[in-house]
Amino acid sequence: MVDEEDARKRESGLRIDFTLSIGYKRYRPEAGVEDKWEAHVGTVGLLITGSIVAIAIIIIVVPRILAWITSL
């Protein structure tokens, strides 16, 4: 019978990960109602902008990288 440690020693594998991360961080001081509205509008704007950038990278950059890799 093979114990668990021996089984792990024989494991092998390959993993390739592509990760796209778009981040945003800022400090907003405590303020009135206007700041809450500004925060919501800013969040929606950043979500839309981040989505556009991510989609552009996926559509434009990734195919070029893959084409370059396959041409090697």
Q: Which tens digit of pLDDT belongs to each residue from 20-66?
A: 777 777 676 666 556 667 777 878 888 888 889 889 988 998 899 88
The 3-state DSSP class for residue 29 equals: coil
Read off the pLDDT of each residue in 2-10 and give the average, rounded to a whole number: 68
Q: What is the pLDDT of residue 20?
A: 73
Q: Which of 13, 64, 19, 31 is nearest to 42 (CA)?
A: 31
* Domains in the chain: boundaries: 35-72
